[in-house]
Structure 1
């Protein structure tokens, strides 16, 4: 992309059946510029070791030693994740739940077309159809504005640059998450600077650490309850009501919930008010998911509220400890694996001295803070990309060379 390329707002438009577009652009039907070819089945048992991507309806699903078609290319979900659009940089094998794109005209830049297909959002096209799947005729009927080839290249270059930044950010996030996982394993079992260790019920731990039943360091450990949904007066109050999805969405700290209840709803159920900076632990569904509530909350019966004895236990430390534990192995196997309050109470846990708990939590919190900054940066890049797609692919914003 040229260094002297500048952006400017387009002022000269023409009216078309899809709205205003720059006067020198044309309107085309997708069916006039591309064909959608059927992928070919390739069962796992037939795949041989290699580095050729095998592409399903939502991206790469494996690898093989030979390609069905040349890359780079665009793959569209025909069944399964219907309408999902994937870009493949090299030769590849699209399987039979997909279409792969071939262009009919030499003035179509494939990478630009990829972004156009993302903007069109093909996932919506099948919704009115009785038979699940994406019909080619529906895709072919879509009309879009077509800029000159050179501008297609410029648009694709800008959006690809943002995509590269997103990919690099994803790589740093993945690397940092691996680092955090290793640090948690090390710090939560070996502590900081210890030389002597002892064998215990839960494995080797530093000699200075204790092993206790979890209930010994809890002020209160109790599940919640759901007020009757038949009583409207129990809902839309001032008390936050935590469900499993709120914990999984929180990532670590919980500040808000999708549902609230009233004082009357609280009093007429087994829900209780959990003080801020307590642990919230899922015991059904996404069991083992854990969060720290930054505000007073109540919960449903699928979540334990855990108030620790502050003089012995640091909430942040036990957040990381539970995040690192495989609690599923302690679950009762019924129709689905569930934990109980009693199982959690009787768990043996390591108990370092309180200052060491705080030091371990502080180290891991620093890594979490770095991850949060990286995720925010990724969100900014995604927002930037969406904005550029909306403006550049419709011609509202154009590019030119500075004279």
Structure 2
């Protein structure tokens, strides 16, 4: 076992404030501008060249961003100016872990003042070879997560392309296997939609193709015993479950329980449509769980996704960032509905893509849990990489 020793953080690295760069002074270029929120743009000049670690400098220690190359650290962030002969990737993981590891004299990470951070005592591995081995293990896990994310982006693009080719461009296979509209398939004008649609298709609404269950106020269902369900709020819907996720009793109404593969539609503070992939949870209010007894998931998912643009335009027109999509908005929406037989055929082709996407997302959840479990053990020296 390689024991960690408590070191002053300033003996391991030197943090420095980034450089001011207003958006109106940015010029198109290849160098990323990294702020407290990560890459927020690009510029034709850089301030740092080499391996770098950047974090936010307001409030508490923020998320860490690793970069290898030329970049511009923004003045809303701190960056590691000197690694003092430590492995940069190890330092990245050490800083990522600061909110979870035990320090010698503080129970929580202080506000992001670089002078205070330099004085912070942290457990550190001083052997550089061991640093590199630790970084290699954690990097391999992150690389697999990134690979799955890239695969999922391609899978989603494939499914969306097929869906739009059939149901937006109307080039679904006709009776002879040819693209319907491009091959001269008959189009008829629909007065409700105010455009031409394929013969035999109908107009309808988002309300008519699915059921929308609004989540519950989960503070009414606090756990009594050790059994619980994680509460899915808008933050969890966007970022996933975390240690700060609230808990609810498992005996809540069945409609409010979410499971893998369910379609969620946040209609309030943000507008978004997602397919849930993190296991059973309790659905909080301001999110619809969308289901249908008639139409397959792939149909109402993509119809909702396409209509988000219109809903966001409505929010901008009301001069608000709030969504507040109501049942009336869903009833007033107008969409084009193909024959159910065609919808089912499209679903048969898209469903395997959705299944693979869900499997990759579940795989990433397990990989992230393993990484987050290993991280403090490796940093404290409780686990050694041989």
1:104, 1:247 → 2: CA distance?
Answer: 35
Report deviation, 1:59.
1.7
Q: Is the 8 A contact 1:54 1:62 kept in 2?
A: yes
The counterpart of 2:201, out of the listed 182, 199, 209, is 209
**TM-score between both structures, scaled by the size of structure 2:** 0.71
Q: Is the 8 A contact 1:39 1:95 kept in 2?
A: yes
| Residue 317 (structure 1) aligns with | 299
| Match status 1:181 vs 2:160 | yes
1:154, 1:284 → 2: CA distance?
Answer: 45
* Partner deviation per Cα, 1:218-243 (whole Å, 9 max, x = no partner): 8xx7887979x9xx79x99xxx9x99
Q: Is the 8 A contact 1:54 1:64 kept in 2?
A: yes
Q: Is the 8 A contact 1:28 1:146 kept in 2?
A: no
2:207, 2:172 → 1: CA distance?
Answer: 25
| Match status 1:364 vs 2:350 | yes
1:244, 1:81 → 2: CA distance?
Answer: 23
* Partner deviation per Cα, 1:46-88 (whole Å, 9 max, x = no partner): 2222111211113221111222122111112212774322111
1:184, 1:173 → 2: CA distance?
Answer: 16
| Match status 1:192 vs 2:172 | yes
| Residue 373 (structure 2) aligns with | 387
Pair 128,395 (structure 1): closer, same or farther in 2 beyond 3 Å: closer
The counterpart of 2:327, out of the listed 330, 335, 341, is 341
How many residues were matched structurally?
A: 349
1:368, 1:26 → 2: CA distance?
Answer: 47
Report deviation, 1:33.
2.4
| Match status 1:146 vs 2:125 | yes
The counterpart of 1:46, out of the listed 25, 28, 34, is 25
Report deviation, 1:44.
1.2
Pair 48,149 (structure 1): closer, same or farther in 2 beyond 3 Å: same
2:166, 2:48 → 1: CA distance?
Answer: 49
2:33, 2:372 → 1: CA distance?
Answer: 28
1:144, 1:298 → 2: CA distance?
Answer: 39
1:187, 1:167 → 2: CA distance?
Answer: 31
Unaligned runs of 5+ in 1: 1-9, 11-20, 252-256, 264-270
2:138, 2:236 → 1: CA distance?
Answer: 34
| Residue 243 (structure 2) aligns with | none
| Match status 1:118 vs 2:96 | yes
SS of the aligned residue for 1:49 comes to: coil
Answer 1 or 2: which has greater strand percent.
1
1:358, 1:40 → 2: CA distance?
Answer: 55
2:7, 2:236 → 1: CA distance?
Answer: 47
Report deviation, 1:395.
2.3
Pair 135,214 (structure 1): closer, same or farther in 2 beyond 3 Å: closer
Unaligned runs of 5+ in 2: 175-179, 241-246
SS of the aligned residue for 2:97 comes to: helix
| Residue 360 (structure 2) aligns with | 374
Pair 151,364 (structure 1): closer, same or farther in 2 beyond 3 Å: same
Report deviation, 1:98.
1.7
Q: Is the 8 A contact 1:82 1:134 kept in 2?
A: no
Pair 73,216 (structure 1): closer, same or farther in 2 beyond 3 Å: closer
Report deviation, 1:185.
1.8
* Partner deviation per Cα, 1:254-309 (whole Å, 9 max, x = no partner): xxx9578989xxxxxxx99xxxx9998665444574889xx9x999698598866x
SS of the aligned residue for 2:15 comes to: strand
2:49, 2:150 → 1: CA distance?
Answer: 27
1:104, 1:214 → 2: CA distance?
Answer: 55
| Match status 1:170 vs 2:170 | no
| Residue 17 (structure 1) aligns with | none
Higher-Rg structure is: 1
1:298, 1:112 → 2: CA distance?
Answer: 38
Report deviation, 1:89.
0.7
Pair 303,26 (structure 1): closer, same or farther in 2 beyond 3 Å: closer
Stretch moving more, 349-358 or 197-206: 197-206
SS of the aligned residue for 1:71 comes to: strand
* Partner deviation per Cα, 1:119-170 (whole Å, 9 max, x = no partner): 22389989786xx643422343222232312221222222222222222222
